[in-house]
């Protein structure tokens, strides 16, 4: 009798846990995604969580311009830049149809980012409320290229200063040896 009760309670508990567990629905899409999305607006293909949050942050800033909202917009631009960088990496690693689809999405995201940066830059409160916030509409690759140029210029200037110092030291040594010999 005791074993039967234990068995019944165990089964009821297992059934209760299994029934209460929330299962995520599984959606199976058949066919070619590129063909399925061929008639869809490119803006709809570009929509991601980051693009939605960026748009909302800019809308919030437009409605209530303050430093906190401006900082949120800047954070959302950074998140979108991260997504663009990940997509650039995926495009570089993938091949075939996957690469074409990812490259199209990458171009759409870059265009979206540029348009949102322009929209944010045109907001009148943007220039008065947040003097330190600057939105850069360049892509991640363009930013990296510019940074590499800046580093190269810094190295070149440092090498020039070092060369000038060596040249000056050699002249002083030459003059000191000449004075010592005379």
Please check whether residue 54 is in contact with residue 73, taking contact to mean a CB–CB distance below 8 angstroms: yes
Tens of pLDDT, residue by residue over 121-151, are 887 665 444 445 566 777 777 888 888 889 9
Rounded Cα gap, residues 164 and 118, in angstroms: 45
Is residue 30 pLDDT above 50, yes or no?
A: no
The predicted-structure confidence for 42-95, as pLDDT tens digits, reads as follows 444 567 888 888 889 988 888 888 888 888 989 999 998 888 888 898 988 988
Rounded mean pLDDT, 6-35:
50
Per-residue model confidence (pLDDT) at position 166? 92
Coil vs helix vs strand at 141: helix
Grouping H, G, I as helix, E, B as strand and the rest as coil, residue 64 is coil
Instruction: Supply the DSSP symbol for 134.
Output: -
Average pLDDT over residues 87-109: 88
């Amino acid at each position: 009798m005791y074993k039967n009760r234990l068995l019944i309670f165990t089964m009821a508990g297992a059934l209760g846990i299994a029934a209460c567990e929330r299962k995520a629905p599984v959606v199976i899409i058949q066919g070619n995604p590129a063909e399925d999305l061929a008639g869809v607006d490119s803006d709809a293909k570009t929509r991601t969580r980051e693009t939605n949050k960026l748009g909302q942050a800019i809308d919030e800033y437009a409605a209530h311009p303050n430093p906190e909202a401006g900082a949120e917009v800047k954070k959302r631009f950074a998140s979108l830049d991260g997504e663009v960088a990940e997509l650039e990496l995926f495009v570089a690693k993938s091949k075939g149809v996957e690469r074409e689809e990812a490259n199209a999405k990458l171009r759409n995201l870059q265009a979206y980012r540029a348009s949102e940066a322009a929209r944010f830059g045109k907001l009148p409160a943007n220039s008065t409320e947040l003097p330190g916030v600057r939105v850069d509409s360049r892509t991640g690759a363009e930013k990296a290229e510019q940074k590499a140029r800046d580093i190269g210029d810094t190295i070149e200037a440092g090498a020039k200063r070092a060369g000038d110092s060596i040249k000056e030291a050699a002249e002083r040594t030459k003059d000191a040896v000449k004075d010592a010999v005379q």
